Structure 1
Amino acid sequence: MTPTTADLERLGTEFWAWRAVNSFRSADDIPRIERPADWLPRFDPDGVAAQRRELDGFIERWRATDASSSPIGAQIDHRLLGSALARVHWELDVLRNWQRDAVFLTSQILGPWFDLLLAPPPFDAGRQAGLVHVLAAMPAAVDQAIANLERAGVATLARVAAASLEGIGPRLAESVEALASFVDTATGSALAEAQPAASASLTRYRDWLVEAAGAGRLGPDVIVGREAFVWFLRHVALVTADPEELVRAALHDYRRSVVGETVTRNRHRDVPPAPLAADIDALVADESAAEAGVRAFYDGEGLLSQPDSLRHYFFAAYPPYLAPLAFLGVTDDLTGDTRRERDAVSYVREPVPDLPYFDAANARDPRLGIIHEGAHSQQLALAWAHPSAIRRRYTDSVANEGIAHYNEELMLTAGLFADAPHSQTTVFNFIRLRALRVVVDVNLATGVFSLDEAVDFFVRLVPMDVETATEETAIYVATPGLAMSYHVGKQEVQRLLADAVVAKGEAFSLREFHDFVWRNGNVPLSLQRWELLGDRSDVDALDTAGPWFESLP
């Protein structure tokens, strides 16, 4: 009997429920998903082996769900689910960060605590219980991380992790102490009781990393390699270009952005820099007003629908319990599919002269954050409400990050920053950064760059501060394909728009185009092209690589 659309939807629902339990924790905000109560990531060998067995069962069911004679929408859903299955193999058996990467394992140990802190107060009973559970589990998680790294750890990443964990015991204690006034008395007591052992274990973990890396007990960097990276492009990201093509296109955009930045700066050379916000309260108020202005600009220019029901994106001061551990991920709460009506919040630092790269931009013009993270906020809220449940979940960053980066240049071109010359130069610098990320991503994956060389590349050519460059590069070493996603996705959106303008002629609408792309923002652009334009040329090119499960790297 031919499987039905309902069979595919059922499989998708079961798979994503499984991923909520089994996927690793991510420091990035886009892949964050809502977890069951008392969730902890499993990165022990037995847990990974169980994941592999269960993945095989999902793959078998997916292969039996033949959608080739179904409508295009169902075929796209089927391919999207296949991409998500391929990603699990990529994470478990190609990247193997759960064995090799001390930065990644730090994220698994401490990240669940950080994630539970992100949503604004109040802390309900479930979240309070989760905090106690996570804190109490840290010593055992440290033991497992050390055991994994003793077998397969990479020295370079151990050094990066150790640097980020400087003073981690007192920093965790500070977070727990600051949380006490936000939780009930029983929870506060339980957290205070569990904190010393958790802090001691984290200090022990850092000390072990320093000693193991310094004594030469950990291995060299592990290179994914070109062949495996191409497999990722074809079967996870669903991108048709070769790595070399991506680098050439990125370098072209890099040079274009340098010209745009230089000429714009020269044009407005007599205009003084925009002042920093007076203090954090002023910055939060400025952003709230700016967010309303950006929404009005979208609507007034006919760029993107802004229904009253669409939630807002706001800045907020760092809560005292979050600030000591801000290195653990993107410090925002973009909510989730069961909270999509809630306003999203991004925690920002006090505006001072020596802020890191992105914080410095936001402190002078909050719209510079709104046009990227605010775009994520709207895109995710729209996608979480998609009629197809399979399209409500993150599968790869090219579409999501591509849309947000495309939105930056869209808003520059549309005139949002006509009143802010220096913000125009900053957007050109954003373009420069995202283009250079492709070069770093591909060169790290293929072994051309070491981690230190990639950091130096960012510092010299963006330019950016060493702190931000190191944080970014450590993430990209662990997740090949993420750094490239901004620029590659932007170019895919631009290519789709250009072809849609030609195909639709006078009937083309920027608003309708963007509404479609944002709503389908979890879907690779190669599949969006097929549905929007009836153009399956990208899909046919991807098919020449053969089924993903027959060519596993």
Structure 2
Amino acid sequence: MTSLATDLARLGVEFWEWRDATSFRTSDDIPRVERPDGWLPRFDRAAIDGFRLELEGFAARWRAIDDEGVGALPIPDQVDHRLLGAALARVHWELDVLRNHERDAVFLTSQVLGPWFDLLLPPPPFDARRRSDLVRVLEAVPAGVDQAIANLERAGVATLARVAAAELDDIGARLARSVDAVRPLTDAATAAALAAARPAASDALERYREWLAASAGRLGPDVVVGRDAFTWYLRHVALVTAEPEELVRAAMQDYRRSVVAELVTRTRFSGLPEPELAASAEAESADQAELEREVRAFTEAAGLLSQPDSLRRYRYAPTPDYLEPLAFLGVNDDLTSIRRVDDDATSYVPEPSPDLPYFAAANARDPRLGIIHEGAHSQQLALSWAQPNPMRRHFIDSVANEGIAHYNEELMLTAGLFADAPHSQAIVQNFIRLRALRVVVDVNLATGAFSLPDAVDFFVREVPMDVGTATEETSYYVATPGLAMAYHVGKQEVLRLVTDAAVAAAADGRELSARDVHDFVWRNGNVPLSLQRWELLGDRSDVDLLDAAGRWDAVL
């Protein structure tokens, strides 16, 4: 390894160690990381200023490597350099463009109470480290609430404050139920400490809810990042070359295709009754365990993706009593981490009922509908975390990860996984419709064409989707431009890569192995697809277009 490549590898190790310690808590499951012992989110002004200074230090080292001639290194090393540049750009995007740490009450709820939820996600037993962190997190809630209110007083957004207040209804009692349910799973000293800390935490959260409800009317209007900033994100974080309007046009084409496909499927099989809901969460979990084995066997037998015996399992489990009251705080699963790559992943499911929200209702009738998306995440992350190259083990942006999972949904439908289940075929087609419509919502929220209520109404009307799920999705997407579009945009990027690989193989007189190209994409699933195509196909046309947008840190 050359000195320059060595410097790049060292910078990557140091940056990612810093990032694990300083990144904000997220309610999404893909960006979750294993935190240092005793970690708490920092979102006070002094911390943010410190993060900016540290970012500039990393950026200066990254620029020096660029200036010293990174273009002379082999393509994989150049990909790693650009990958690190995208990670640095994301930090700037979060701190100085989105500024959710001072604008978004939903985001701040996530910082205050989310760490408690995250510590509960891995299945028991609760070891000494986790027990200590649970106490620390609960004791920190009152100070976190004070800091959240101070931030929102400065720059809070009214719409998101109202959403956060609604999410926190009866939050004191809900936290009490969570604490009471987890205490018997700890030792006596931890149980006593949790009991002692809980009343102040509940009171603080109730005070936060009351403040939000009373203050929302005087907080600021929605903040629109605007087309220019959104395009900057596309070029420098997601590494996507398309214009926002192109993304919407492509999404609408997929939307129309999915509507017709769902209509035809439902018409053709209109006489068949809808599958019954699972009898219980336990029964659903048992069915899922068997079906997950069947899906893996199907994928292997069809030659679509390698399924080594060493690859961990993706399992359902009933939602524990200590998670259920706080399920709004994030995706209810444990996809593990780089340090727990061999552990099975766990997705928690609610008790089946007629009023289940959109995704839970689908999974309760056919667990394969969750396996083909969240199960794809589980496998992609496990394969990426086992990467021999440390630079490619870390989350950069959702377009690649969510794109792979959405691509897998359609891949499994096309390959015939649901040949025995017409209703599930229609649901996958409806998933395609939803992912396409998310692009419309994302771009319109980013440019100001949609308000949050407009986006909720759009989802409810066009998917269709229940109001609760639509509100939950939109309140998250309004503050995270680029996430809602990630599923469809990423799928299109994977389709383009696989298509071009097939055409190139045919031109050379070869037959493309779907398994080989999918294995490459999944293993490099944290790497933007524009960089994957450069490395896999030797096609740097996307990279040239990205270069034309200038270096990401020109804004600093």
Coarse TM-score class (shorter-chain normalised): over 0.9
SS of structure 2 residue aligned to 1:83: helix
SS of structure 2 residue aligned to 1:478: coil
Which residue is equivalent to 1:509? 513
Which residue is equivalent to 1:142? 145
**CA distance in 1 between partners of 2:46 and 2:283 (Å):** 51
Which residue is equivalent to 1:422? 423
> Contact 1:517–1:528 at 8 Å: present in 2 too?
yes
Q: Which amino acid aligns with 1:460?
A: R
1:543 aligns with 2:547: yes
Q: Which amino acid aligns with 2:243?
A: D
Which residue is equivalent to 1:40? 40
Which residue is equivalent to 1:437? 438
SS of structure 2 residue aligned to 1:486: helix
Shift of 1:282: 1.1
Which residue is equivalent to 1:121? 124
Shift of 1:278: 1.3
Structure 2 counterpart of 1:109, from 88, 107, 112:
112
Which residue is equivalent to 1:530? 534
Shift of 1:4: 2.1
Q: Which amino acid aligns with 1:530?
A: W
Q: Which amino acid aligns with 1:39?
A: W
String of CA shifts for 1:63-112, please: whole Å, max 9, x gaps.
Answer: 11132110000000000000000000000000000010000000000000
Which residue is equivalent to 1:204? 207
**CA distance in 2 between partners of 1:488 and 1:280 (Å):** 33
Structure 1 counterpart of 2:179, from 172, 176, 179:
176
String of CA shifts for 1:343-387, please: whole Å, max 9, x gaps.
Answer: 000000111111000000000000000000000000000000111
**CA distance in 1 between partners of 2:360 and 2:338 (Å):** 27
Which residue is equivalent to 1:298? 299
**CA distance in 1 between partners of 2:388 and 2:283 (Å):** 40
1:193 aligns with 2:227: no
SS of structure 2 residue aligned to 1:507: coil
SS of structure 1 residue aligned to 2:81: helix
Structure-to-structure mapping, 1:453-532, within 5 angstroms = 453-505=454-506, 506-532=510-536
String of CA shifts for 1:478-523, please: whole Å, max 9, x gaps.
Answer: 1100000000000000011110001112331000010000000000
Which residue is equivalent to 1:165? 168
- Count of matched residue positions in the alignment of Structure 1 and Structure 2: 549
String of CA shifts for 1:382-420, please: whole Å, max 9, x gaps.
Answer: 000111111000000000000000000000000000000
Normalised by the length of structure 1, the TM-score is: 0.99
Q: Which amino acid aligns with 2:476?
A: I
Gaps of 5+ in 1: none
**CA distance in 1 between partners of 2:342 and 2:75 (Å):** 30
**CA distance in 1 between partners of 2:447 and 2:41 (Å):** 29
Gaps of 5+ in 2: none
Which residue is equivalent to 1:325? 326
SS of structure 1 residue aligned to 2:315: strand
Q: Could you say what the CA RMSD is over the residues aligned between the two structures, in angstroms?
A: 0.7
**CA distance in 1 between partners of 2:288 and 2:82 (Å):** 39
String of CA shifts for 1:278-335, please: whole Å, max 9, x gaps.
Answer: 1122101100010000000000000000000000000000111010000000000000
Moved over 6 A (4+): none
Normalised by the length of structure 2, the TM-score is: 0.98
Shift of 1:551: 3.6
> Contact 1:3–1:64 at 8 Å: present in 2 too?
no
> Contact 1:315–1:347 at 8 Å: present in 2 too?
yes
**CA distance in 2 between partners of 1:345 and 1:550 (Å):** 42
Q: Percent identity?
A: 71
> Contact 1:302–1:510 at 8 Å: present in 2 too?
yes
**CA distance in 2 between partners of 1:270 and 1:350 (Å):** 28
**CA distance in 1 between partners of 2:148 and 2:14 (Å):** 29
Which residue is equivalent to 2:237? 236
Which residue is equivalent to 1:9? 9
String of CA shifts for 1:424-449, please: whole Å, max 9, x gaps.
Answer: 00000000000000000000000000
**CA distance in 1 between partners of 2:86 and 2:281 (Å):** 42
Q: Which amino acid aligns with 1:488?
A: V
String of CA shifts for 1:145-186, please: whole Å, max 9, x gaps.
Answer: 000000100000000000000000000011000011110010
1:52 aligns with 2:52: yes
Structure-to-structure mapping, 1:366-445, within 5 angstroms = 366-445=367-446
**CA distance in 2 between partners of 1:233 and 1:354 (Å):** 37
**CA distance in 2 between partners of 1:379 and 1:366 (Å):** 19
Which residue is equivalent to 1:18? 18
SS of structure 2 residue aligned to 1:103: helix
Which residue is equivalent to 1:252? 253
> Contact 1:302–1:511 at 8 Å: present in 2 too?
yes
**CA distance in 2 between partners of 1:372 and 1:443 (Å):** 26
SS of structure 1 residue aligned to 2:290: helix
> Contact 1:3–1:65 at 8 Å: present in 2 too?
no
**CA distance in 1 between partners of 2:386 and 2:77 (Å):** 17
**CA distance in 2 between partners of 1:478 and 1:31 (Å):** 16
> Contact 1:287–1:315 at 8 Å: present in 2 too?
yes
**CA distance in 1 between partners of 2:320 and 2:414 (Å):** 36
Shift of 1:3: 4.4
Which residue is equivalent to 2:79? 76
**CA distance in 2 between partners of 1:55 and 1:109 (Å):** 24
